[in-house]
Homo-oligomer: A and B are copies of this chain.
Amino acid sequence: MRLAIDAMGGDDAPGPIVQGALEALSLDAELDLVLVGDEKVIHPLIDGKIDDGKRLSVIHTDQAVGMDESPAVAMRRKPNSSINVCWSLLAEDKVDGVVSAGNTGAVVAGGLMTRRFLPGIQRPGIAVQLPTMTGISILIDAGANLNPKPEHLFQYGMMGASLVRQVYGVENPTIGLMNIGSEDTKGNTLAKETANRFRNSFLRDRFLGNIEGRDICRGLVDVIVCDGFVGNALLKCCEGVLDFVVKRVAMELLGSLDSERQKAEEVLFGLYNQYHHSEIGAAPLMGIDGVCLIGHGGSDARAVKNAIRGAKKYRDVNISIVDDLSNDRNSSPTPAKA
């Protein structure tokens, strides 16, 4: 598998990005990597550190999108940004996938511009993993599509189900729609039309209807479908409340303990890191014909290495999505609308 790595994307890029790429290469002989970025800073980081030079190449560009830059402005002013060059390599079939820990909006914008979607997919969506009482759930979309149509949300549910089946081994994944009440009559037009779309599709038995914000961590469904604005707000809300509760527990609890204070501290911070870490992993942009993994801006070398090594499993997910799109065409009484 050959991947384009956005060497300039991430809070501390390119150091940990290049380091993670080198570690992944050393662990997987079937991996080819293209580091995209400023060769002046990349070369000193790789020189002498790799035996088989054929499996690692560098494509130079001196443009990079900052983490806080507007994706729209960056697309205009920096057509040769490292992110865009990665996408061009995928569009030209020179790589099988793109990995970036850079500006999420710019990664998505680049993907939308190349329009290299799986056949039938209308819009890609970001799938993130959230911890639940029973394991994990996938929330899709976490911010790629701020004005989705019902068909987009339907496809997100379908892609999320493929992801959960292929990557997490859940045989018959269930799907829920984020809404403001559990009853069918609740919510806005988008929610109602999306629910109808699911109920009239081959996924009708997997679709459990509406779920609410309080159900996310209960693990009621395997796949939570929502629009990108809501999904992004919820993802960050989970992060913030986790942080808040653990800090408040630490403040109140640790001060009240004596002989077992240290033990309690270890357990508490172990738990915090367990859940905090789960969101550091790279999130796939689902619906791309190829693989696109978006890492957390704060990714260290280990996170980058893991993202790269995990990329190949998403090829199987894509095969499953293409199958499901064909199931949908053959069985849905409501045809997919553009």
Contact = CB atoms under 8 A, between A and B. Distances in A.
A264 interface: yes
A273 interface: no
Interface in A65-112: 68, 70, 72-73, 105
Contacts of A214: 236-237, 239-240, 243
A47 interface: no
Given A68-B183, A180-B228, A237 B238 contact: yes
Interface stretch (A201-209, A250-258, A286-294): A250-258
Nearest to A250: B249
A117 to B, nearest CB: 22
A245 B247 contact: no
A237 B234 contact: yes
A267 interface: yes
Report copies per complex: 2
Interface stretch (A26-34, A48-56, A215-223, A312-320): A215-223
A96 to B, nearest CB: 29
Nearest to A265: B253
A120 interface: no
A216 B188 contact: no
A241 B187 CA distance: 22
Interface of A: 68, 70, 72-73, 105, 131-133, 143, 146-147, 178, 180-183, 185-188, 212-218, 226, 228-230, 232-249, 252-253, 256-261, 263-264, 267-268, 270-271, 275
12 contacts: A72-B185, A131-B244, A146-B180, A180-B232, A214-B239, A215-B240, A229-B230, A233-B234, A237-B241, A245-B275, A259-B260, A260-B264
